[in-house]
Amino acid sequence: MPLEPTAQLLTALPSLLDLPFREGYVSSIVYVSLYVSLVAVALSTLVSIPVAVVLGLADFRGKGFVKSAINTGMGFPSVVVGLLVLFAVSNQGPLGSLNLVFTREAMIMSQFVLATPPITAISLAAVSGVDRGVRDAARVLGGTRVDAALVVLKEARYGIATAVLAGFGRAISEVGSVLIVGGNITSADGISKTRTLTTAIQLEARQGQYETAMVLGAVLVALVLVVNAVVVRFGDRGVQR
Amino acid sequence: MSIHRREMLTALGTGALAGLAGCSGLAGGEEESADVAGETLTLTTTTSTYDTGLLDEIHGDFEEMYGVSVDAVAQGTGAALESGRNGDADVVMVHARGLEDEFMREGYGVNRRDLMFNDFVIVGPEDDPAGIEGMDSATEALTAVADAGATFVSRGDNSGTHTKELNLWEAAGTEPGGDWYQETGTGMGEALNVATQQGAYTLSDRGTFISQRSEIDLVILVQGPIEDGPEVLANPYGVMAANPGVHENANYDLAMAYIGWITSPGTQEAISSYQVDGEQLFFPEAVSEDPNFGQYVPEGWSGDSSDA
- B184 and chain A: CB distance < 8 Å anywhere? no
Q: What is the DSSP string of B41-109?
A: EEEEE-HHHHHTTHHHHHHHHHHHHHT-EEEEEE--HHHHHHHHHTT--SEEEE--HHHHHHHHHTTSE
Q: What is the DSSP string of B129-197?
A: TT--TT-S-HHHHHHHHHHHT--EEE--SS-HHHHHHHHHHHHHT----STTEEE--S-HHHHHHHHHH
CA triple B98-A84-A208, angle to 5 deg: 60
Q: B 77-106 residues with CB below 8 A of A? A: 86-88
Per-residue pLDDT, B303: 64
Per-residue pLDDT, B22: 41
Which has the closest alpha carbon to A117: A81, A155, A148, A86? A81
Per-residue pLDDT, A233: 82
**CATH for B34-118+236-288, among 3.40.50.300, 3.40.190.10, 3.30.930.10, 3.40.640.10?**
3.40.190.10
Long-range CB contacts for residues B254-259, cutoff 8 Å, separation at least 24: B254/B36, B254/B39, B254/B41, B254/B66, B254/B68, B254/B90, B255/B41, B255/B90, B255/B91, B256/B111, B257/B36, B257/B66, B258/B41, B258/B43, B258/B62, B258/B70, B258/B90, B258/B91, B259/B91, B259/B111, B259/B113
Per-residue pLDDT, A30: 95
- B13 and chain A: CB distance < 8 Å anywhere? yes
Mean pLDDT taken over chain B: 84
Contacts of A129 (CB under 8 A, 6+ apart): A156, A159
Which has the closest alpha carbon to B238: B191, B196, B199, B296? B296
Per-residue pLDDT, B14: 47
Q: Which domains does chain A have, with CATH numbers?
A: 31-196 (1.10.3720.10)
Which has the closest alpha carbon to A98: A87, A90, A86? A90
Q: What's the pLDDT tens digit per position in B161-208?
A: 999 999 999 999 988 888 899 998 888 888 998 999 899 999 999 988
Q: Which chain B residues are within 8 Å of A90, Cβ to Cβ?
A: 86-88
Per-residue pLDDT, B304: 62
Contacts of B147 (CB under 8 A, 6+ apart): B130
Return d(Cα A193, Cα A102) in angstroms, integer: 9
- Determine the residue of chain A that is closest to B15 in CA distance: A97
Return d(Cα B258, Cα B254) in angstroms, integer: 6
Summarize the confidence of residues B62-67 as an average pLDDT: 93
Would the pLDDT of B20 be above 50?
no
Name residue B116's beta-bridge partners: B237, B284
Name residue B280's beta-bridge partners: B275
Long-range CB contacts for residues B78-82, cutoff 8 Å, separation at least 24: B78/B157, B78/B158, B78/B159, B78/B162, B78/B163, B79/B44, B79/B158, B80/B44, B80/B45, B80/B46, B81/B44, B81/B108
Which has the closest alpha carbon to A80: A41, A110, A117? A110
- B308 and chain A: CB distance < 8 Å anywhere? no
> Using an 8 Å Cβ cutoff, are B239 and B92 in contact?
yes
Return d(Cα B24, Cα B35) in angstroms, integer: 9
Summarize the confidence of residues B62-73 as an average pLDDT: 93
- A23 and chain B: CB distance < 8 Å anywhere? no
- B277 and chain A: CB distance < 8 Å anywhere? no
Question: DSSP letter at A102?
Answer: T
Would the pLDDT of A1 be above 50?
no
- B59 and chain A: CB distance < 8 Å anywhere? yes
Name residue B110's beta-bridge partners: B241
- B212 and chain A: CB distance < 8 Å anywhere? yes
Chain A nearest CA to B18, separation (Å): 14
Asked if B189 lies within 8 A of A189 by C-beta distance, the reply is: no
Q: What's the pLDDT tens digit per position in A175-229?
A: 999 999 999 999 888 889 999 999 999 988 877 788 889 999 999 999 999 999 9
Q: Which chain A residues are within 8 Å of B192, Cβ to Cβ?
A: 208
Asked if A206 lies within 8 A of B190 by C-beta distance, the reply is: yes
Asked if A187 lies within 8 A of B42 by C-beta distance, the reply is: no
- B191 and chain A: CB distance < 8 Å anywhere? no
- Among the partner residues A98, A102, A207, nearest to B71 by beta-carbon distance: A102
Q: Which chain A residues are within 8 Å of B12, Cβ to Cβ?
A: 97
Per-residue pLDDT, A236: 66
Enter the CATH code of domain B119-234: 3.40.190.10
User: Is the model more confident about A90 or about B23?
Assistant: A90
- A211 and chain B: CB distance < 8 Å anywhere? no
Q: Predicted confidence band at B13 (pLDDT cuts at 50, 70, 90)?
A: very low
Q: What's the pLDDT tens digit per position in A70-80?
A: 999 999 999 99
Residue A21: left if φ>0, alpha if ψ -120 to 50, beta else—which one? beta
Q: Which chain B residues are within 8 Å of A102, Cβ to Cβ?
A: 42, 71, 73, 88
Chain B nearest CA to A63, separation (Å): 29
Q: Where are the CATH 3.40.190.10 domain residues in chain B?
A: 34-118+236-288, 119-234
User: Is the model more confident about B27 or about A213?
Assistant: A213
Q: Which chain A residues are within 8 Å of B186, Cβ to Cβ?
A: 206
Asked if A184 lies within 8 A of B74 by C-beta distance, the reply is: yes
Return d(Cα A76, Cα A112) in angstroms, integer: 12
Q: What's the pLDDT tens digit per position in A23-72?
A: 889 999 999 999 999 999 999 999 999 999 999 988 889 999 999 999 99
Per-residue pLDDT, A11: 55
Q: Predicted confidence band at B293 (pLDDT cuts at 50, 70, 90)?
A: low
Residue pairs spanning A and B at CB distance below 8 A: 83
Q: What's the pLDDT tens digit per position in B79-95?
A: 999 999 999 999 999 99
| Angle separating helix axes B188-198 and A197-206, nearest 10 degrees | 50
Summarize the confidence of residues B100-108 as an average pLDDT: 93
The answer to ipTM > 0.90 is: no
Chain A nearest CA to B82, separation (Å): 11
Classify A185 as helix, strand or coil.
coil
Q: Which chain A residues are within 8 Å of B187, Cβ to Cβ?
A: 206
Q: Mutate which of A21, A32, A87, A91 to test chain B, going by most B C-beta atoms within 10 A? A: A91
Q: Which chain A residues are within 8 Å of B189, Cβ to Cβ?
A: 206-208
Return d(Cα B254, Cα B259) in angstroms, integer: 9
Return d(Cα A19, Cα A54) in angstroms, integer: 50
End-to-end C-alpha distance for chain B, whole angstroms: 40
Q: How many CB atoms lie within 10 A of CB A203?
A: 23
**pLDDT > 90: percent of chain A:** 58
- Determine the residue of chain A that is closest to B6 in CA distance: A94
Summarize the confidence of residues B1-23 as an average pLDDT: 46
**How far is residue B148 from each of residues B117, B207, B234, measured CA to CA in Å?**
32, 28, 26
Per-residue pLDDT, A16: 53
Summarize the confidence of residues A236-240 as an average pLDDT: 55
- Among the partner residues A90, A205, A206, nearest to B88 by beta-carbon distance: A90
Per-residue pLDDT, B24: 42
Q: Alpha-carbon Rg of chain A, whole angstroms? A: 21
- A97 and chain B: CB distance < 8 Å anywhere? yes
User: Is the model more confident about A226 or about B292?
Assistant: A226
Residue A15: left if φ>0, alpha if ψ -120 to 50, beta else—which one? alpha
Summarize the confidence of residues B257-276 as an average pLDDT: 94
Q: Which chain A residues are within 8 Å of B10, Cβ to Cβ?
A: 96-97
Q: Which chain B residues are within 8 Å of A208, Cβ to Cβ?
A: 189-190, 192-193, 212, 215-216
Q: Predicted confidence band at A146 (pLDDT cuts at 50, 70, 90)?
A: confident
**How far is residue B155 from each of residues B101, B186, B188, B270, measured CA to CA in Å?**
22, 6, 7, 29
Whole-model pTM: value is 0.81
Q: What's the pLDDT tens digit per position in A215-231?
A: 999 999 999 999 999 88
Q: How many residues does chain B have?
A: 308
